[in-house]
Structure 1
Amino acid sequence: MAKELITRDQVREEDTWNLKDMYVNVAAWEDDLKYIQQQMVELEKFEGKVCESAENLLMVLDISAAASEKFELAFNYAERLFDQDQGNTEHQAMSQRMFGMYAQFSAATAFISPEILACPVDKIEKYFVEKPELELYRIQIKEIQRLKEHTLSSEMEKVVAMTQEMGNTPTEVYSAFKNVDMTFPSIKDENGEDVVITDGRFVPLLMSADRRVRQDAFREYYGVYKQFLNTMAAIYNGEVKQHIFYSKIRKYESNLKAAVDENNVSPQVYENLVNTVNANLDKLHAYVSLRKKCLGVDELHMYDIYTPMIADVAKPIKYEEAQKTICEALAVLGEDYVELLKEGFANRWIDVYENKGKRGGAYSATAYGVHPYMLLNYNDTFDDMFTTAHEMGHSMHSYYSNKTQPYIYSNYKIFVAEVASTCNEILLLEYLLKNCTDKKEKAYLLNHYLDSFKGTVFRQTQFAEFEKITNEMVESGENLNSENLCNLYKEINERYYGTDMISDEEIAYEWARIPHFYYNFYVYQYATSFCAAVAIADMILKEGEPAVARYKKFLSSGCTDAPVELLKIAGVDLTTPAPIEAALAKMGEIVKELESLV
């Protein structure tokens, strides 16, 4: 019999997140939805009058902030319920309802920014004097004014807001199709037992020491995607087109520029990453050659990319052991940090294990006024321990930011979102390396370090390049289809991994399984953040408390400045290629160190 996933009602309560910390029941959630609706009605009274007086401006911003805070909480509650079992129709309906309300809320608040922009700057400055309470909103108003060129009239902003629910359709279709409707076959595991392939099990199967298992998993998994490539291409084409629609209507030269500008980042940072990584592909090629040598194969295939290069060292890591190791490794960040980690582990911030219908992957999500929530699909692997540390980094960033900043400045920009998570991973790895005495185990850890560079810098930049080109294709009038998407993806894959890697036919379909292509130019930030995290971790380990203090100040800063400027607080300047070049140089050194051990 194949190993079937357990259903949600079979999961132990202690292994689930406690959503009652947000709402005691659905009735309490409904009460907040009524409050939000009431505040939207209240806001209507101010349309056309936002800047008539300092008092009006303050009231509008106060009402909007209070309603937005409630909305974020209500949205998080519905999405966490939905993600724990996406086959639950009641929770599906709650999620859809929140996306519908999001469009309503966006429309109800759409007049605010245009009216602030229409108000002379000197008039608003006088309002700051008349109503000192307005000082709370100075940074927010400054950010609105920064986007003046791309903000539409009040009426047009309403129309755009009304399209958002419709615009989310490609993402919803992709998620439902991939997480609920798609089913995968079973294969024989290392022990000859049937195991059903799932998204959560796919990479662990590719990490198997048994090459037959890896090959079977790879071919069977992508064989399912091959059946639906035309559908997947149509969905992705729709996703790209809707983002391009929004970028054009806001008068941006490209969707790339629109996407990065939302986080107050220059597109040059994106281009700089792609160009610098492409100039350093020799580091990835050296890694691939070393992998081929370590595995002792005549041909290295894409299904060989996840299995450890150093055999017979990997061992199962139970969740409890992972918690203990993570706390020990991150002790360099101070007692307060470790106590927070322990609180999160003990008090059900985390939904730990995979169940039928549960969203794949892992994430951390936070609503203001409540602790962070983490979704895992823990499978007792070495990588799962690192994923746990990674998501805890997100959670700690959110916790420090929420604790320090008022609601309106608590949500840090996506550009810096991966720094804390990756810094946790690097500190964990450096801790394990420092405390390792076995030569083979050290080689295994160095292999993991290299895999992190491969997966986070090179792989994410590979995705970023694919996303950039596909957007440019649509912007130039070309439609995306399964053929050109597969050809493009395979060409980029061959260039990145070099001549020592066989780019199997199936890898051309990989684009169809990557959910981050529905996040609109998100993935490049994994790579920039990894490079920043390498630098920050290095400073923490070398300098100690002064670097920790700078780092915690960065974690506590929310969105009080442009993200590139906030990173400078922690000692990293991503306006130059230096952090990327330094990180890739470190990778080159690790390749040589591992070569000397094997």
Structure 2
Amino acid sequence: MAQKSRNEIPEKYTWDLTTIFKTDNDFEDNFKKVQELSDKASKHQGTMATNAETFFSAIESSLAAFQLLEKVYVYASMKNDLDTSDNKYQGYIARVNALAAQVESTLSFVQPEILSIEPSVIDKFINEKPEYQLYKHYLDYIEKKRPHVLNENEEAIISKAQDVLSSSSETFAVLANSDLKFPEITDEDGNKVPLSNGSYGLYIESYDRRVRKEAFQGIYSAYGEYKNTFAQTLAGQVKADNYLADVHKYPNARSAAIAENNIPETVYDNLVNSVHDHLDLLHRYVALRKKVLKLNEMHMYDLYVPLLDEPPVEYNFDQAKERARKALEIYGDEYLEAVDHIYNERMIDVYETKGKRSGGYSGGSYDTNPFILLNYQDTLDDVFTLIHETGHSVHSWLTRKYQPYVYGDYPIFVAEIASTTNENLLTNDFLANSEDPKLKAYILNHYLDGVKGTVFRQTQFAEFEHYLHISQQNGTPITADGASEYYGKLNSEYYGDSVISDPEISLEWSRIPHFYYDYYVYQYATGFAAATTLSEAMFNHQNGAVERYLGFLKSGNSKYAIDTMKEAGVDMTKTDYLDKTFAVFEERLNELEKLI
């Protein structure tokens, strides 16, 4: 679909951001009000131990400031995403980011001051009035941090140092996205075209092997030229992670990072160990890819070309909504009511327009609708993107409906579960109801590629990330040669003998932004596996599965993520959910092998 200007798009396919603020003047008024609420909350500093009323007034006033800050941020960011070249909304984003840093610094006293009060006194405060019981889990969450939180002045200093501690990540982003010079390559039509981080994803999937080889070698020639600089930016981030873990008295950076969501380290170790136990399945899938593509030698740049042609089916956006809704009927009326509001009340910005942010996401805050950004192109993959983002949005919808603001969000650890569960239900629905072998093969391969790219690949990233942090902690400096040597060996182990681990792939670590996110990537893998287990239970009408799942969507932050998932039917401290995922992967791999 040709790129259009926004005034060419029918209104019903665009966001209605006036439901957040009717005008930019309202944004400005609320921007000021955030500052006022922050200043008001700061007056409680040093008073929280006085009595229960003062204690909870401090908590509620600080939460009020953050609640409005989120709404202000959502408006600015979404306005900017509709036209990233608009200087006005670029300015809004810069101002809101500065405001957020100011508010976080101003209110950084709250947790340390809570922890300066004896637990028995806090228990007494909670029991003074029934309405204070609401904060019991919130305070228990903070109490678990007691051994790791510094005094108010020290926490304020660390809060103000966040810009310094995040400088490596920012340097990486500027270098990779702005300063790095990529070569030109020759496209499928023989035209010279510029290579970039954005276009690389298109060229590496080209059916023309020469094009994907050129793209592969071109991208890594650019990163390789600055490999020592990238090693330094990554080392700086790892040092910052390790430093913050050390000053907060954690044994290592991984422990500090996953403690934020109260996740046991065994979850991480179980993931890595279980993936290694099932690498033979990935090797089989890679071997199948080599056979189908009829390659004497398969290289790393052959792993992303579509294994099958696009299925002979297209969905315009209205058809996509119907197809997604059909797959979601299993959830029942309440879920579908939320879906209908999102689909029909201008909460989705559908089509690509000039200057619009690429990709797709679900966004919003506690006091806004759950908005979805798409760049819809009528493909089957776009239907999967729609149902994925619908999962996020309905998760947010139900959480905010059933939880107060203090619990009105959900932890990152479970964020991808709701979206991927929806994708899996759509996969199951297609496989159960499709008679077209080409479509069926495409759907099977879509799922297998999802496991390859999410469970296997993200675990590979997680394993490498932990290696870097432990190495630096133990006194081994991070260098380009050392990182490349370890990454190259790890890559060979993951993908097996059917693919040649080209020397360029040893540099892949240099271009992965998630290595700057402090133990984030493992959650993609655990989330995908949990989603497979949950969707299989619901699709097969396991008794109580839907009710337990909806309970998870409604729970927000009112429980620890591990406990929420146990109640939903997945114990992520064990490996059963991973074993189930690999069993489904093998079953579908067998089926695809027979089909093609």
* TM-score calculated relative to the size of structure 1: 0.91
Distance of aligned partners of 1:460 and 1:352 in 2 relative to their CA distance in 1, 3 Å threshold: farther
| Contiguous gaps of at least 5 residues in structure 1 | none
Q: Deviations along 1:127-153, whole A, 9 cap, x unmatched?
A: 223333322211111111111111111
Work out whether 1:512 is the aligned partner of 2:513.
no
Native 8 Å contact 2:315 2:379 kept in 1:
yes
**1-structure distance, mates of 2:145, 2:543:** 38
Q: Post-superposition shift, 1:256?
A: 0.5
Give the AA of the match of 1:597. Answer: L
Give the fraction of aligned pairs with identical amino acids, expressed as a percent: 39
Between 241-250 and 79-88, the greater mean CA deviation after superposition: 79-88
| Contiguous gaps of at least 5 residues in structure 2 | none
Give the AA of the match of 1:588. Answer: E
1:541 paired residue number: 539
Between 111-120 and 453-462, the greater mean CA deviation after superposition: 111-120
Work out whether 1:528 is the aligned partner of 2:526.
yes
Indicate the SS of the match to 1:543: coil
Native 8 Å contact 1:200 1:361 kept in 2:
no
**2-structure distance, mates of 1:44, 1:586:** 53
Give the AA of the match of 2:476. Answer: E
Q: Post-superposition shift, 1:40?
A: 2.3
1:325 paired residue number: 323
Between 424-433 and 91-100, the greater mean CA deviation after superposition: 91-100
Distance of aligned partners of 1:391 and 1:5 in 2 relative to their CA distance in 1, 3 Å threshold: same
Indicate the SS of the match to 1:364: strand
Distance of aligned partners of 1:479 and 1:100 in 2 relative to their CA distance in 1, 3 Å threshold: farther
Q: Post-superposition shift, 1:433?
A: 0.9
**1-structure distance, mates of 2:379, 2:104:** 42
2:258 paired residue number: 260
Work out whether 1:499 is the aligned partner of 2:497.
yes
**Match of residue 108, structure 2, among 107, 110, 123:** 110
Distance of aligned partners of 1:299 and 1:244 in 2 relative to their CA distance in 1, 3 Å threshold: same
Q: Deviations along 1:66-87, whole A, 9 cap, x unmatched?
A: 1110111122223334444555
Counting only pairs closer than 5 Å after superposition, residues 41-52 of structure 1 correspond to structure 2 as: 41-52=39-50
Native 8 Å contact 2:310 2:442 kept in 1:
no
Between 556-565 and 15-24, the greater mean CA deviation after superposition: 15-24
2:286 paired residue number: 288
Counting only pairs closer than 5 Å after superposition, residues 99-498 of structure 1 correspond to structure 2 as: 99-179=97-177, 187=185, 189-191=187-189, 197=195, 199-311=197-309, 313=311, 317-353=315-351, 359-498=357-496
Native 8 Å contact 1:179 1:357 kept in 2:
no
Distance of aligned partners of 1:445 and 1:246 in 2 relative to their CA distance in 1, 3 Å threshold: same
Between 540-549 and 351-360, the greater mean CA deviation after superposition: 351-360
Distance of aligned partners of 1:316 and 1:166 in 2 relative to their CA distance in 1, 3 Å threshold: farther
**2-structure distance, mates of 1:411, 1:549:** 20
**1-structure distance, mates of 2:23, 2:403:** 28
Between 288-297 and 306-315, the greater mean CA deviation after superposition: 306-315
Between 563-572 and 95-104, the greater mean CA deviation after superposition: 95-104
Give the AA of the match of 1:525. Answer: Q
Between 561-570 and 98-107, the greater mean CA deviation after superposition: 98-107
Distance of aligned partners of 1:238 and 1:384 in 2 relative to their CA distance in 1, 3 Å threshold: farther
Distance of aligned partners of 1:225 and 1:281 in 2 relative to their CA distance in 1, 3 Å threshold: same
**1-structure distance, mates of 2:445, 2:210:** 22
Q: Deviations along 1:327-377, whole A, 9 cap, x unmatched?
A: 222222224333433432343433445567655543322211111233344
Distance of aligned partners of 1:416 and 1:357 in 2 relative to their CA distance in 1, 3 Å threshold: same
**Match of residue 38, structure 1, among 32, 36, 39:** 36
Q: Post-superposition shift, 1:452?
A: 1.2
Q: Post-superposition shift, 1:241?
A: 2.3
Distance of aligned partners of 1:167 and 1:23 in 2 relative to their CA distance in 1, 3 Å threshold: farther
Native 8 Å contact 1:87 1:180 kept in 2:
no
Q: Post-superposition shift, 1:522?
A: 1.2
Give the AA of the match of 1:160. Answer: I
2:55 paired residue number: 57
* TM-score calculated relative to the size of structure 2: 0.92
**2-structure distance, mates of 1:174, 1:436:** 46
1:76 paired residue number: 74
Distance of aligned partners of 1:257 and 1:130 in 2 relative to their CA distance in 1, 3 Å threshold: same
Between 5-14 and 66-75, the greater mean CA deviation after superposition: 5-14
Q: Deviations along 1:243-300, whole A, 9 cap, x unmatched?
A: 2222111111111000000001011111110111012111101111111111111111
Give the AA of the match of 1:265. Answer: I
Between 342-351 and 31-40, the greater mean CA deviation after superposition: 342-351
Q: Post-superposition shift, 1:399?
A: 1.2
Q: Post-superposition shift, 1:458?
A: 0.3
Q: Post-superposition shift, 1:97?
A: 2.9
Native 8 Å contact 1:179 1:359 kept in 2:
no
Native 8 Å contact 1:450 1:587 kept in 2:
yes
Native 8 Å contact 1:199 1:360 kept in 2:
no
Q: Post-superposition shift, 1:197?
A: 4.9
Native 8 Å contact 1:453 1:587 kept in 2:
yes
Q: Post-superposition shift, 1:434?
A: 1.2
Q: Deviations along 1:363-415, whole A, 9 cap, x unmatched?
A: 32221111123334445543333233222211111111111100110111111
Give the AA of the match of 1:26. Answer: D
Q: Post-superposition shift, 1:587?
A: 1.3
**1-structure distance, mates of 2:450, 2:419:** 13
Between 351-360 and 532-541, the greater mean CA deviation after superposition: 351-360
Distance of aligned partners of 1:232 and 1:532 in 2 relative to their CA distance in 1, 3 Å threshold: same
Give the AA of the match of 2:201. Answer: V
Question: Number of residue pairs matched?
Answer: 596
Give the AA of the match of 1:375. Answer: L
**1-structure distance, mates of 2:233, 2:347:** 33
Q: Post-superposition shift, 1:531?
A: 1.2
Indicate the SS of the match to 2:372: strand
Q: Post-superposition shift, 1:577?
A: 1.1
Distance of aligned partners of 1:436 and 1:202 in 2 relative to their CA distance in 1, 3 Å threshold: farther
Between 510-519 and 459-468, the greater mean CA deviation after superposition: 510-519
Native 8 Å contact 1:100 1:165 kept in 2:
no
